[in-house]
Structure 1
Amino acid sequence: MATTTRVASRPPARPPAPATVALGVLPRRQLTGIIPALLCIALATAATGLNAVRPFTDLIPLVWVVAVLLAAGAVASGVRTFQREGRMDPAIEAVLPMLGAAQPTRALVVPVKWTRGWVGLPERIKIRYASHVDDTDPRFVDQILAGLARRLGAEYRVRKHNSRRCVLVVELAPVSDPVSREQQRAIEVVKLVIDPTASVSVKSADDGSVSKIDVKHNVGPKMAIAARRSQVEKVVSSMLPGRWRAHWDLEGDKITFEVRPTMPDMVLHEVEPAAALTHAAYKAFKIPIGPDEDGQIQSWHPAVSPHCLVIGGTGSGKTSFQHTVLTHLAHAHWRVWVLDGKRIEFAGFRDWPNVELVGARVEHQVRMLHAAHELMEERYSQLENGTARLEDFDPLALIIDEYATFKARVQRWYKTVKPKGAPAQAPVLDLLSDLARLARSAKIHILLGLQRPDVEFLGGEMRDNFGARVSFGRLSPQGANMMWDSFAVGVAIPRNKRGRGVTLNAESQPVEIQAFYTPDPAKLDSTDKADWDHLAALRPDAADYERMMVRDPEAELTDDGEGEELEPDYFQWSSAEIVAWDASVPSTTKHDALRPSNVTPLDSRERVRFVPEVDDDAPDVDAAADGDGYGESLEGPAVELEVGDLLLVDATLGLWGVVEGVEPDVVDDEYLAIEYRDLDSGEDGLLTLFDNSVISYRRPEAA
């Protein structure tokens, strides 16, 4: 049986551009206007002679004047035409080979309009070409325009192109501003990185620096790849001064590059007049976090993301952000409870209108969380029984600062108040999970503050419940991965930028922000007039909720006849009364003023021992307590790099950068373009290396 071999057919190759064949020089120019001038003089001479033989007019002098003027005009017109042809001939000779001409001729390239002036420039040129020329090749028109520009010394553009009739009409392009060296550099870089045939328009700022670049390109399929677009942005930022970003119009094959705006170092928190707190107002209510680099205000929307998690070490701006949230809530007629983990961070807001309860002592903090849980259960019962609707409840904001510190103190305190038969762990520690999971449906919202990411709050269900998140200062790679699912986001926030952090925008993408600043009244003195005035503008005129306090339970006497006082146990504290604030009521709790906060009080017969805990005022570290969050330095080929690695960018200066992207280079596929953010300055950078280049890097340690 015969076998048939099928040969795969290829699509026809694109026809090449027509070969440019030298046609020689144009025919010699002829000076016109001499014969018409001589004819005018001859006619005047004949009229003069005839008038001498047979007089018929007295206007012979006028006849000579007219004849001389016409002769001069004819000569001038001929000279001007001769000079214009001389200006056009080099351009015609330059473009004739592209038009499929068989011989040199001026008939195919005809200037139909000239600019003002004795000779001027061809303002509009009509070009005809042979029908066999491939006018679909973009190089056809580009070469004609380039030839005209080269020989005439001016830029031209297409006015009309009739492919059916093989006619091309070009005209002078509008005169543009002189291109500076910086603008020319920008044009060259963009064409090199994106498309050599792209149309590039550059705008400059007042100081002469390039501020905006508009690009129209012909490589849409390449730019449709997200990694390619990101790499183009990094290359442009590396090769041009400043930090750049791009806006992509993938449908129109257009790109707009612009210099990233400089973020402010401080933005004051402002409030607008608050309307009545209706259920509709509650659903639309947003708490401003701060502006991003575009000036867009990023916000926390409690009705959508019920709870917010805020991370930040000492001096990062975390507490100021919590003050902003507190003042914004109070101004909007919300009911606010504060668990002050450090006992003094909210001291200046204890008498703030609508701040109903501030717990500074661990006993009062425990009672507050129990009260919040009881309120949630009460509201659930009312909803279940049909005696109330969600719109009937007033929203409650529960601000919990330094929860890790609170938890450690509760564990120590519980050992001193734990009654017989009570659980081994303080019941209050189980309430936060319930509140995070269920409080939303009871109009109770939590702002939880921590100094550093903790897997307890950023893993599993708890992470999902805290949909709104903000981090301040630098994160360790492990913390960044827990917060933002990336080892690179937030690890290179500039140092000493209080209030600079990362949050999620409306598209749930991490963006860098500068949080609004709210002064702390407890830290101001009489010289801080501007801050006092600002706080006065934030303070509500009247309180919707009066200040409350936890009444300390009374000590009980033993019934053994000795009358010894028994300190209240855990359950007495967790059910203590919450009453209206009374400054005259003294605290009944006994404190040892000289006892360190991490000492466990025990029986006098037992030796005092210390319980390890994280320092309340630990500095903002970059990573784990025993290191910087990265493993030992490794050496290997550049292809082994991964996002989140720490790369040695400059061995001489000891500069390291956090890798944010590794992609093939847009110019040479044998090279890698490594996008990084400088670990010290936070500035973006791009490093191009051969894929087998040996580099030094460090991997993030396991969480």
Structure 2
Amino acid sequence: MANRPPARPTAPAVTALGVLPRRQLTGIIPALLALAIATAVTGLNTVRPFTNLVPLVWVGAVVLAAGSIVAGVRAFQRAGRMDPAIEALLPLLGASQPTRALVEPVKWTRGWVGVPERIKIRWASHVDDTDPRFVDQILAGLSRRLGVEYRVRKHNSRRCWLVVEIAPETDPVSREQQRAIEVIKQVVDPSATVSVTSAEDGSVSKIEVKHNVGPKMAIAARRSSIEKVVSSMLPGRWRARWDLEGDKILFEVRPNMPDMVLHEVTPAAALTHSAYKGFKIPIGVDEDGGVQHWHPAVSPHCLVIGGTGSGKTSFQHTVLTHLTHAHWRVWVLDGKRIEFAGFRDWPNVELVGARVEHQVRMLHAAHELMEQRYSQLENGTARLEDFDPLALIIDEYATFKARVQRWYKTVKPKGAPAQAPVLDLLSDLARLARSAKIHLLLGLQRPDVEFLGGEMRDNFGARVSFGRLSPQGANMMWDSFAVGVAIPRNKRGRGVTLSGESVPVEIQAFYTPDPAKLDSTDEADWKHLAALRPEIPDYSRMMVKDPEPIIGDDGEGEELEPDYYEWAGAEIVEWDPAAAAARLETMRPGNVTLLPSRTAVRFVPEPVDEDAVDDAVDGDGDGYGEAIDGPAVELEVGDLLQTDESLGMWGVVEGVENDVLDDEQLAIEYRDLETGEEGLLTMSDTQVITYRRPDVAAGH
């Protein structure tokens, strides 16, 4: 390994000057003088009496003599206490010979001898007192010889003197605090000032750093590496707040995110155009407890992605209840037919489409409303502020699209396009609906290039993903193969969204219960729903009226089922419970065929092909290619790295940088694939590791 230059030159050698002159016991001469004066006064008074106070003179003389001797003995012992410290400092002060004049105690602590509380130190003018080691060595020498810690009280470099005083007592540094200080000094700056705060249980919770290496900290990659090193070397998950202008860093333990956060609403004011422009829908809370929002007036449409059990539907319920409570008009396209069954009679939910025919009519109606509003704006018969906002929630669009394609084959009239016209309406709505106060919330099971490529991606400025994404899906959603691919398992409602600065952040989405899945024992959830439910509806519940069959003109009087265009133009009327009940009784799936009963199926195990098992492990449809063995320097962000071969543990690479402690090592930041916990590995750039690259072909 190449030798590195030291961080600073070594301290200059000092030459001992020998011992100080012998101490003199003062106070004896003043004591003898006092006694001599008393003797003289007594003699004169005997020869020529002039006073009766001779006894008092002797009392005073004895007291003065005793006090002088006591003070002299005390000064002698204090000098003995100071001499080792003076001898240690004289070589630093540029003294040419041993002397006590350069180090002068100004004040002592209480006690017979005590300890110098304040000391004035002078030095020769040729001494370089600008070197930070100069003062440090003085303080260290005093502390070493006097047994207490000192600090600088005043430093007059121009006149070459320094006053130090005893440093105030501090709380004892625990082992955890000392390790935190050592780690920070290693990764940031050895001369940095580090202040450590501990929690009630004694663990380190906060570290404040003042450093002098601002240019180094300005490099983003270095800051990221320092955060990862601190998180790896200290207990807990850490984050840093950087004050690049003040050369300060604040390290804090990352708070644990909650597993569930209830959706709550505040009393809603009247829905004016001004209120519409400032209206925000809460998505979830980040690790700081900050609420992330969807702002429809700024980002008109929202795309939400998540697999089964990820919390996607609950998030859509949260959006629905928040919109309706704020007096918005809401239409719901229920792709799975049952996910919004509990909200069909919810106030301000005007229309819920569960059957594919009704869903098609709903999208046509939304498009017609958009065109109508455009015409009014164009003709000057209305202003944007005259329109009520409409939210169109489309759940499971991929399922809806597949059902439409199958259904369209049964209702397609002669001469109609090969593809159902309704499938072309969504792109129009995404591009144009914003200017007509119509906003979309589109739900998908997985990222789709139809909505995350080109113009459609720009139209869905608000995006949320729940659960784990494939590397390709993460790249489509967040422009990174690593973001969102290691969300902890079994954390419903845990996902990623864009912050106000358009940076992906991890969130815990707000939870809203589904009325259709509650029973009488769920009292807390029913109470919660009651608080979310609007008291007075602004919009009545509507329904699609099924078009009546028509009699064919072939002379046989055969009834013909409505075709596509008749369904697309079906009348939307006020909700009629009787008509809805009658429709349910007569409704039968037309594409379901009853199968005859079958005998029991017996499964016969087949021989296992070990090579096939290995292939399945390498490429099991998780979005990564086959395992590769290669040098660590080839790793890229988004790769899947085997972090522990014996335990079969893998992690998603989030960063590859030079190690801040050793430039010849790589610091690999990763997130564990199973737990979602962050980690850091350091290794040589030539070390052979096992990794898997994102399968580019899987994204097509």
Instruction: Identify the TM-score tier after normalising by the shorter chain.
Output: over 0.9
SS in 1 for 2:583: coil
Matched residue type, 1:115: T
Is residue 223 of structure 2 the alignment partner of residue 233 of structure 1?
A: no
Matched residue type, 1:510: P
Q: CA RMSD in A?
A: 2.1
User: Does the aligned pair in 2 maintain the 1:17–1:140 contact within 8 Å?
Assistant: no
Q: Any idea what the Cα deviations from partners look like across 1:648-701, whole Å, max 9, x if unmatched? A: 111121111111111111111110111111111111111110111111111111
Deviates more, 1:367-376 or 1:122-131: 122-131
Alignment gaps of 5+ in structure 2: 1-7, 596-616
Deviation at 1:477? 0.9
Give the alignment partner of residue 146 of structure 1, picking from 136, 140, 146.
140
Deviation at 1:484? 0.6
Structure-1 residue corresponding to 2:602: none
Structure-2 residue corresponding to 1:377: 371
Structure-2 residue corresponding to 1:262: 256
Give the alignment partner of residue 220 of structure 1, picking from 204, 214, 220.
214
Deviation at 1:640? 0.6
Is residue 104 of structure 2 the alignment partner of residue 115 of structure 1?
A: no
User: Does the aligned pair in 2 maintain the 1:339–1:399 contact within 8 Å?
Assistant: yes
Whole-angstrom distance in 2 between the partners of 1:572 and 1:595: 20
Deviation at 1:141? 1.9
| Cα separation, partners in 2 of 1:568 and 1:595, compared to 1, 3 Å | closer
User: Does the aligned pair in 1 maintain the 2:472–2:623 contact within 8 Å?
Assistant: yes
SS in 1 for 2:694: coil
Whole-angstrom distance in 2 between the partners of 1:588 and 1:500: 37
Give the alignment partner of residue 204 of structure 1, picking from 175, 178, 198.
198
Matched residue type, 2:583: S
Whole-angstrom distance in 2 between the partners of 1:230 and 1:261: 19
Give the alignment partner of residue 644 of structure 2, picking from 641, 644, 650.
650
Whole-angstrom distance in 1 between the partners of 2:10 and 2:159: 21
Structure-2 residue corresponding to 1:531: 525
Is residue 566 of structure 2 the alignment partner of residue 587 of structure 1?
A: no
Matched residue type, 1:445: H
Is residue 694 of structure 2 the alignment partner of residue 681 of structure 1?
A: no
Matched residue type, 1:587: R
Whole-angstrom distance in 2 between the partners of 1:32 and 1:209: 55
Matched residue type, 2:378: E
SS in 2 for 1:222: helix
Matched residue type, 1:198: A
Give the alignment partner of residue 395 of structure 1, picking from 384, 389, 408.
389
Deviation at 1:65? 3.1
| Cα separation, partners in 2 of 1:15 and 1:222, compared to 1, 3 Å | closer
Whole-angstrom distance in 2 between the partners of 1:373 and 1:188: 65
Structure-2 residue corresponding to 1:129: 123
Whole-angstrom distance in 2 between the partners of 1:61 and 1:468: 102
Is residue 448 of structure 2 the alignment partner of residue 454 of structure 1?
A: yes
Is residue 462 of structure 2 the alignment partner of residue 487 of structure 1?
A: no
Give the alignment partner of residue 463 of structure 2, picking from 460, 469, 472.
469
Whole-angstrom distance in 2 between the partners of 1:151 and 1:491: 59
Structure-2 residue corresponding to 1:171: 165
Matched residue type, 1:223: M
SS in 2 for 1:687: strand
Deviation at 1:283? 0.5
Structure-2 residue corresponding to 1:661: 655
Deviation at 1:17? 5.5
Q: Any idea what the Cα deviations from partners look like across 1:307-361, whole Å, max 9, x if unmatched? A: 1111111111111111111000000001111111111111111111111111111
Whole-angstrom distance in 1 between the partners of 2:619 and 2:192: 52
| Cα separation, partners in 2 of 1:21 and 1:525, compared to 1, 3 Å | same
| Cα separation, partners in 2 of 1:652 and 1:588, compared to 1, 3 Å | closer
Give the alignment partner of residue 72 of structure 1, picking from 66, 72, 97.
66
Give the alignment partner of residue 239 of structure 2, picking from 237, 242, 245.
245
Matched residue type, 2:638: G
Deviation at 1:629? 1.2
SS in 2 for 1:584: helix
SS in 2 for 1:515: strand
Structure-2 residue corresponding to 1:10: none
Is residue 108 of structure 2 the alignment partner of residue 81 of structure 1?
A: no
Deviation at 1:55? 3.8
Is residue 287 of structure 2 the alignment partner of residue 293 of structure 1?
A: yes
Structure-2 residue corresponding to 1:338: 332
| Cα separation, partners in 2 of 1:638 and 1:138, compared to 1, 3 Å | same
Give the alignment partner of residue 695 of structure 1, picking from 674, 689, 694.
689
Structure-1 residue corresponding to 2:612: none
SS in 2 for 1:24: coil
SS in 2 for 1:572: helix
Whole-angstrom distance in 1 between the partners of 2:332 and 2:339: 10
Deviation at 1:502? 0.7
Whole-angstrom distance in 2 between the partners of 1:264 and 1:41: 85
Deviation at 1:251? 1.1
Structure-1 residue corresponding to 2:600: none
Structure-2 residue corresponding to 1:619: none
Whole-angstrom distance in 2 between the partners of 1:192 and 1:468: 41
| Cα separation, partners in 2 of 1:588 and 1:232, compared to 1, 3 Å | closer
Whole-angstrom distance in 2 between the partners of 1:513 and 1:217: 33
User: Does the aligned pair in 2 maintain the 1:552–1:588 contact within 8 Å?
Assistant: no
Q: Any idea what the Cα deviations from partners look like across 1:555-591, whole Å, max 9, x if unmatched? A: 1111112111111111111111111111110328965
Give the alignment partner of residue 35 of structure 1, picking from 14, 29, 32.
29
Matched residue type, 2:313: T
Deviation at 1:600? 13
Is residue 308 of structure 2 the alignment partner of residue 314 of structure 1?
A: yes
Whole-angstrom distance in 2 between the partners of 1:626 and 1:413: 34
User: Does the aligned pair in 2 maintain the 1:18–1:98 contact within 8 Å?
Assistant: no
Whole-angstrom distance in 2 between the partners of 1:90 and 1:219: 37
Whole-angstrom distance in 2 between the partners of 1:47 and 1:600: 140
User: Does the aligned pair in 2 maintain the 1:552–1:589 contact within 8 Å?
Assistant: no
Deviation at 1:439? 0.6
Deviates more, 1:511-520 or 1:84-93: 84-93
Deviation at 1:529? 0.6
Deviation at 1:407? 0.7
| Cα separation, partners in 2 of 1:76 and 1:290, compared to 1, 3 Å | farther
User: Does the aligned pair in 1 maintain the 2:619–2:625 contact within 8 Å?
Assistant: no
Deviation at 1:553? 0.5
| Cα separation, partners in 2 of 1:82 and 1:170, compared to 1, 3 Å | same
SS in 2 for 1:549: strand
User: Does the aligned pair in 2 maintain the 1:638–1:693 contact within 8 Å?
Assistant: yes
Matched residue type, 1:333: H
Alignment gaps of 5+ in structure 1: 1-13, 602-622
| Cα separation, partners in 2 of 1:292 and 1:391, compared to 1, 3 Å | same
Give the alignment partner of residue 19 of structure 2, picking from 21, 25, 46.
25
User: Does the aligned pair in 2 maintain the 1:19–1:98 contact within 8 Å?
Assistant: no
Whole-angstrom distance in 2 between the partners of 1:127 and 1:365: 89
User: Does the aligned pair in 1 maintain the 2:618–2:626 contact within 8 Å?
Assistant: no
Deviation at 1:371? 0.6
Is residue 149 of structure 2 the alignment partner of residue 155 of structure 1?
A: yes
Give the alignment partner of residue 185 of structure 2, picking from 180, 191, 200.
191
Whole-angstrom distance in 1 between the partners of 2:584 and 2:652: 54
User: Does the aligned pair in 1 maintain the 2:618–2:627 contact within 8 Å?
Assistant: no
Percent identical pairs in the alignment equals 83
Deviation at 1:76? 2.5
Whole-angstrom distance in 2 between the partners of 1:54 and 1:429: 136
Structure-2 residue corresponding to 1:571: 565
Matched residue type, 2:625: G
| Cα separation, partners in 2 of 1:368 and 1:624, compared to 1, 3 Å | farther
Deviation at 1:140? 1.9
Structure-1 residue corresponding to 2:493: 499
Deviation at 1:193? 0.9
SS in 1 for 2:679: strand
Give the alignment partner of residue 640 of structure 1, picking from 634, 640, 644.
634
Matched residue type, 1:60: V
SS in 2 for 1:631: strand
Number of positions where the alignment pairs a residue of Structure 1 with one of Structure 2: 667
SS in 2 for 1:633: strand
Whole-angstrom distance in 2 between the partners of 1:132 and 1:365: 91
Matched residue type, 2:369: L
| Cα separation, partners in 2 of 1:365 and 1:625, compared to 1, 3 Å | farther
Whole-angstrom distance in 1 between the partners of 2:421 and 2:9: 82
Structure-2 residue corresponding to 1:604: none
